[in-house]
């Protein structure tokens, strides 16, 4: 029998987070839940299926065309917006499955027009402009040229949305508002050129929790849906609940004498006689190896520090004070007794961000995903 490694996803908490976000932005603002990368690791289909119950969802936001096609194949009929990774050759499948592209380059725009003309259809799309992230999006200096082309080709393309993306919304309000002003001017320009743009969206989690002026009439939260905020400084802005718990089990228990080393490279030496628990969870389960000697886990409500190098399928922890027995439950993410370990804690200890902890742990080759309310 396998050791029980479970990733429990609490869909009730996902609903709670979504409703909190809806309250913050208000009823005049639609939401594009960002569910790319397998719903930030939580399962794209289950997250989509839960959120499409809500009437204020404008689209489900994904990164790749393939993610959108997968959702359609699984029966999701909500509007879907592909925000980043697409080829002009994807427009055929997008059109046939009612999937909307975000056109972020002049080349994609001319491909979209060419596709619509060949097909004799009017193709709905959103346009993305770069306001300072310098990743994807057309340069705002070309807004006039782009608007003229869209006007000329209005029988082939339907401009349903304008978007941009913030680079530092969690940490630099001044810069965020500069980007926001650029976006606002862009919208005003398109509207004065006669476009009636249905969706105007730029705000990610860091922005929508802090700056009402970034909401326009649509926001694109990702991390917040899953219960996290992109910076510790934002904790007081809204009370969200992490939706993922990850648990495993102790495989074995042994004693370690003072002065003895443990695990590959013996990077930890016992400073006293101790009891060691071996946990069935390692870097193949998405635990960063640089958490070696830094992380903690929870056993019977007690914080147990990880000792020695994290291995492929296991890590070791000090259970001297945990009163543990073989096969006891070990919490990697989540709560036990009064203690809680969050993705923020692991992120801080491994020098990364909670986004990476969530998507990486979700790659576990063994964790069984369990969905619960
Ligand atoms: C284009 C785009 N919009 C929105 C988001 C959501 O951002 P966050 O998870 O910070 O809310 C992302 C995430 O990376 C994104 O790439």
Q: Dump pLDDT digits (tens) for 40-87.
A: 999 999 999 999 999 999 999 999 999 999 999 999 999 999 999 999
Task: Based on the residue annotation, tell me whether 264 is a catalytic residue of this protein.
Answer: yes
Residue 305 CA, ligand 1 centroid: distance in Å: 33
What are the CA-CA distances from residue 345 to residues 49, 155, 183, 282, 337 (Å)? Answer: 29, 52, 34, 17, 17
Task: Based on the residue annotation, tell me whether 142 is a catalytic residue of this protein.
Answer: no
What mean pLDDT do residues 22-27 have? 98
Q: Which of 40, 264, 283, 349 is catalytic?
A: 264
Is pLDDT at 127 greater than 80 in this prediction?
yes
**244-372 matches 11-234 in CATH topology:** no
Q: Which of 36, 128, 200, 247 is catalytic?
A: 36
Residue 328 CA, ligand 1 centroid: distance in Å: 38
Give me the pLDDT at residue 235, please: 86
Pick the CATH number of 244-372 from 3.40.50.1580, 2.40.37.10, 3.20.20.30, 3.40.50.1100: 2.40.37.10
Give me the pLDDT at residue 43, please: 96
What are the CA-CA distances from residue 302 to residues 18, 320, 331 (Å)? Answer: 32, 10, 10
Atom of ligand 1 at shortest distance to CA of 163? 1
179, two tokens: 């980007």
pLDDT tens digits, one per residue of 207-219 = 999 999 999 999 9
pLDDT tens digits, one per residue of 334-350 = 999 999 999 999 999 99
223 lines ligand 1 (CB under 6 A): yes
Residue extents of the structural domains in the chain: 11-234, 244-372
Is pLDDT at 236 greater than 90 in this prediction?
no
* CA atoms of 180 and 177, how far apart (whole Å): 5
Q: How many CB atoms lie within 10 A of CB 233?
A: 12
Is pLDDT at 1 greater than 60 in this prediction?
no
Question: Which one, of 134, 137, 142, 109, lies nearest residue 123 by Cα?
Answer: 109
Give me the pLDDT at residue 340, please: 98
222 lines ligand 1 (CB under 6 A): yes
Residue 228 CA, ligand 1 centroid: distance in Å: 13
Q: What fold does the segment set 11-234 form as a domain?
A: TIM Barrel (3.20.20)
pLDDT band at 362 (very low <50, low <70, confident <90, very high): confident
Residue 221 CA, ligand 1 centroid: distance in Å: 6
Q: How many residues does the chain have?
A: 373
**Concatenated DSSP letters of 201-248:** EEE-HHHHTT-GGG-TTEE--SGGGGT--SSGGGGGG------EEEEE
41 lines ligand 1 (CB under 6 A): no
């Amino acid at each position: 029998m396998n050791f029980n490694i479970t990733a429990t996803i609490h869909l009730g908490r996902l609903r709670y987070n979504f409703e909190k976000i809806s309250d913050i932005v208000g009823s005049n603002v639609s939401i594009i839940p960002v569910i790319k990368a397998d719903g930030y690791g939580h399962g794209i289909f289950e997250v989509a299926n839960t959120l499409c119950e809500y009437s204020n969802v404008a689209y489900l936001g994904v990164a790749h065309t393939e993610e959108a096609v997968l959702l359609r194949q699984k029966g999701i009929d909500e509007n879907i917006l592909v925000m980043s990774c697409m080829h002009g050759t994807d427009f055929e499948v997008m059109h046939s499955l009612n999937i909307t592209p975000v056109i972020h380059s002049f080349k994609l725009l001319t491909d979209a027009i060419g596709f619509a003309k060949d097909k004799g259809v009017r193709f709905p799309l959103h346009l993305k402009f770069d306001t300072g992230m310098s990743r994807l999006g057309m340069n705002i200096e070309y807004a006039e040229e782009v608007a003229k082309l869209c006007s000329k080709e209005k029988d082939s393309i339907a401009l349903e949305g304008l978007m941009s993306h913030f680079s530092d919304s969690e940490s630099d309000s001044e810069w965020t508002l500069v980007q926001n002003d650029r976006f606002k001017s862009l919208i005003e320009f398109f509207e004065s050129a006669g476009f009636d743009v249905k969706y105007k969206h730029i705000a990610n989690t860091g922005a929508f929790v802090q700056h009402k002026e970034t909401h326009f009439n649509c926001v694109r939260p990702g991390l917040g849906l899953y219960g996290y905020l992109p910076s510790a400084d934002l904790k007081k802005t809204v009370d969200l609940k992490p939706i993922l718990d990850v648990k495993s089990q102790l495989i074995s228990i042994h004693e370690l004498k003072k002065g003895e080393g443990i695990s590959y490279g013996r990077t930890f030496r016992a400073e006293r006689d101790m009891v060691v628990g071996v946990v069935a969870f390692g870097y193949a389960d998405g635990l960063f190896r640089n958490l070696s000697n830094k992380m903690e886990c929870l056993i019977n409500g007690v914080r147990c520090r990880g000792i020695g190098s994290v291995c492929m399928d296991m890590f070791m922890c000090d259970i001297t004070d945990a009163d543990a027995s073989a096969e006891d439950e070990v919490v990697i993410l989540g709560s036990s007794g009064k203690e809680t370990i969050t993705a923020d804690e692991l992120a801080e200890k491994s020098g990364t961000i909670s986004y990476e902890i969530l998507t990486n742990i979700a790659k576990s080759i063994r964790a069984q995903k369990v969905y619960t309310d």
